[in-house]
Structure 1
């Protein structure tokens, strides 16, 4: 598995995987008319804009996991207004869920956050009802810190749960990963 930074040239494949992931994970949580309607174009526009902006702005991180030329997963982090680091997206191709790829990407994202924003908490949001993701985040040390409504551009309002990795935990996790890494 190769993990590399994303570029503007990756926008289309990131949008495709993002859409496939939502269609799989959010079936039954979001209306099918949305998942199979405007969602794909919304994601294309979002990733075209984000990948272009990320090349101009410091503080953003897009990491792609590839195997044999196929995008298998990605993580995107950015600074939050409150000073924390936001894991804005973490997605694994539906056929690759449960293979350890999500853990790899989350840990690489946490390592990036520890290196670029030391002493900052890291957080993400997950939709209530996305039980597989909730279990995953809790197994990875995420602490449930808030619950609130999520208002999507499409007008949908859904419940989301916030998970936080306190800065001290981020540091411990990344240090443990560094110790476990094979030595050259």
Structure 2
């Protein structure tokens, strides 16, 4: 049975929930291609510190404020999240898009991506690990264009190949 999912803007009160979901998602989605020491002990605590800082920091002018999007089940359980970071060049980085393990394939990622695209004034870009073939296929199905390849720095001093995908600036009157 399909559950109703809503997407709302999050804030500092969501830091612990997002951190736990982030760590759980990494451990599940990245288990086959990220070194185990980058996903092991301390990951949840590191994510908790990261999200506390991200959601309470002063980023200056309103147009530079990041946006946290939370996808919630009808009962209020976080099913996923996305984090949008404005960049000085006018683009917006979709820094994270994670869906709770066990809920992937239910349209939650698509809802978050569409909500992100609806909120950005300029081009949207994201980075995805090359070995994360499920996510790569998703972003390509959703209209992302591969615009770069590089190495990404990962916890523990690991470097892993990644792709960048970009969506153009929104067209006025576009329907999602």
Q: Under a length normalisation based on structure 1, what TM-score does the superposition of the two structures give?
A: 0.85
Moved over 4 A (4+): 54-57
Superposition deviation, residue 56 in structure 1: 6.9
Render the CA deviation track for 1:36-58: whole Å, top value 9, x for unaligned.
22321221111001111279763
Q: Tell me the number of residue pairs that the alignment of Structure 1 and Structure 2 aligns.
A: 169
Q: Name which of 66, 79, 103 aligns with 2:110.
A: 103
Consecutive unaligned residues in structure 2, runs of 5 or more: none
For 1:13 and 1:34, the matched residues in 2 are separated by 20
Q: Where does 1:84-99 land on structure 2 (aligned, <5 Å)?
A: 84-99=91-106
State the structure with bigger RCO (CA 8 A, min sep 6), 1 or 2: 2
Superposition deviation, residue 84 in structure 1: 0.9
For 1:33 and 1:10, the matched residues in 2 are separated by 26
Say whether 1:2 aligns with 2:6: yes
Superposition deviation, residue 131 in structure 1: 0.4
Q: Name which of 139, 142, 154 aligns with 2:141.
A: 139
For 1:5 and 1:55, the matched residues in 2 are separated by 17
Q: Under a length normalisation based on structure 2, what TM-score does the superposition of the two structures give?
A: 0.89
For 1:55 and 1:2, the matched residues in 2 are separated by 27
Determine which structure has the larger helix proportion and give its number.
1
| Contact 2:82 2:116 (8 Å CA) reproduced | yes
| Residue of structure 2 in register with 1:176 after alignment | 175
Superposition deviation, residue 6 in structure 1: 0.8
| Residue of structure 1 in register with 2:44 after alignment | 40
Per the alignment, in what secondary structure is the counterpart of residue 12 of structure 1? helix
| Residue of structure 1 in register with 2:18 after alignment | 14
For 1:76 and 1:27, the matched residues in 2 are separated by 22
